[in-house]
Structure 1
Amino acid sequence: MTGHAAVVDGEGVAKERVDALLRAVPARDRETRPEALARAERQRRRWATQVVVTDELARRACADRGLKPPAEVSPAQVLAVAETDVADLGSIVAAALAHSPAARVLLDRLEREQDVPEAAVRDYYERNRDRFLTPEALRRGADPFGGAVAGDFLPYEDVREGVARELRRAAGRRAFFDWLDRARAGVVYAHGYEHPGDPSHPDHEHRH
């Protein structure tokens, strides 16, 4: 596997792609001890490999679906990753979506493919009443689960589209995770480029 960080369906993913991403994303570790710094760099390389492999898998998935991602950007143009995205998606997927136009196009298609039943939208509205208080009710400190009256809530018809969009987005993300788990199951990694959470190497970390 000389020169390759991983092999996807018999084709190598060049180590240079991983190196380019590492050059574009500065290390955040502040370790000074040699052994700790070496460990941090190993994990950073493994993390970057997952981002690059996700990009490669997404390119192939887009080609299979007849989707055309926008022009590829250089690693130096990687978009800033919001902390909320890291919390919601995990650092690897959040970075992959920032790094990979193909991953973003695929996620968008998966979101648009999701069917959100009217009953699910209504159920969300009924179970999350605190999210739909009117501004006046919020200022008054109305209790959405006791004491608030019908007029304290935004009408269902006014918020339905926003709720459906939010549920479709969540379903699309779940579909993206399911696709990624299946797609990378057969990926073979070079030594030192394994998943950072792979328990087969001694300094693994369970991070996504």
Structure 2
Amino acid sequence: MSKHAAVVSGEPVPVERVDALLAAVPARDARTARDRPSAQDPETARTEARTEARTEARTEALARAERQRRRWATQVVVTDELARRACAERGLAPPGEVSPQRVPAVSGTDVADLGSIVAVALAHSPAARALLAALEAEQRVPEEAVRDYYVRNRDRFLTKDALRRGVDPFATATADDFRPYERVRDDVARELRRARGRQAFFDWLDRAREGVAYPAGHEHPGDPAHPDHEHRH
């Protein structure tokens, strides 16, 4: 197996960094296929051949999942490496060191919003968090965009009393049923700035990954060039 997991700007990323992350984030099912109970009721398992075929299928499924887990972990480590370089280029204060022995928990909401690779990279990498914060701070949200969001998402700004009464924000609601724009304006602007910062991070990562080279076994999980590929983020 290759001694490096990727090559970034001509410099190898040691495979040990991927191994450390894999050790810190256990597989979803660490049991072997033979430790698992049969998915088929014993009464219907009429032949030894069928049982063996099922076992072999489960074994291959677990092996495939582990190969994809290594590719996934490689993307997390590469994101950290790219973020470190971006922070250096921007003159950002050096972020704290990664602790591969402990990766903070990632919420299901973050995974849904960011994708598992980016969500775990942000939890794992101080550099990625520093870069995201810098990109978010750079965003400028026009007043028109803030007010437009308020107008188009009226259901989000109902008062507690209106919610209790089940008011329809798009039909029966009156002006008194909504929190005033002036009271929510800063929160809306902050939310939009955060969303734009995340989009800027995604755009940066897409560009930064273009020149990264991967040896066999460390390709992107969704790369159709390898037989295990699946389209996930």
2:149 is matched with 124
Residue 70 (structure 1) shift: 3.1
Question: Which amino acid in the other structure matches residue 179 of structure 1?
Answer: W
Distance 1:38 1:27 in 2: 11
SS in 1 for 2:5: strand
**TM-score normalised over the length of structure 1:** 0.97
1:17 is matched with 17
Match status 1:179 vs 2:210: no
Q: Provide Cα deviations, 1:159-191, integer angstroms capped at 9, x if missing partner.
A: 000000000000000000000000000000011
Distance 1:144 1:40 in 2: 46
Question: Which amino acid in the other structure matches residue 25 of structure 1?
Answer: V
After TM superposition, the runs of 4+ consecutive aligned structure 1 residues lying more than 4 A away are none
Matching residue within 98, 104, 122 for 2:129: 104
Residue 31 (structure 1) shift: 6.4
Distance 1:69 1:79 in 2: 20
Distance 1:151 1:95 in 2: 42
Distance 1:170 1:41 in 2: 33
Q: In terms of Rg, which structure is larger?
A: 2
1:36 is matched with 61
1:27 is matched with 27
Matching residue within 41, 54, 57 for 2:79: 54
Q: Provide Cα deviations, 1:64-86, integer angstroms capped at 9, x if missing partner.
A: 00012432131122110110000
Q: Provide Cα deviations, 1:30-70, integer angstroms capped at 9, x if missing partner.
A: 66132112111100000000000000000000000001243
Match status 1:192 vs 2:217: yes
Matching residue within 151, 164, 168 for 1:143: 168
Question: Which amino acid in the other structure matches residue 56 of structure 1?
Answer: E
Question: Which amino acid in the other structure matches residue 16 of structure 2?
Answer: E
SS in 2 for 1:37: helix
SS in 1 for 2:101: helix
Q: Identity over aligned residues, as a percent?
A: 78
Distance 1:87 1:31 in 2: 29
Question: Contact 2:79–2:121 (CA<8 Å) still a contact in 1?
Answer: yes
SS in 1 for 2:13: strand
Q: Provide Cα deviations, 1:88-116, integer angstroms capped at 9, x if missing partner.
A: 01000001000000000000000010010
**TM-score normalised over the length of structure 2:** 0.87
Distance 2:106 2:17 in 1: 19
Question: Which amino acid in the other structure matches residue 92 of structure 1?
Answer: I
Match status 1:63 vs 2:92: no
Distance 1:85 1:72 in 2: 22
What are the ranges of 5 or more consecutive residues in structure 2 without an aligned counterpart? 34-57
1:5 is matched with 5
SS in 2 for 1:75: coil
Structure 1, 123-132 or 71-80: larger mean CA deviation: 71-80
Q: What is the total number of aligned residue pairs between the two structures?
A: 208
Question: Contact 2:88–2:94 (CA<8 Å) still a contact in 1?
Answer: no
SS in 2 for 1:12: strand
Matching residue within 168, 191, 198 for 1:166: 191
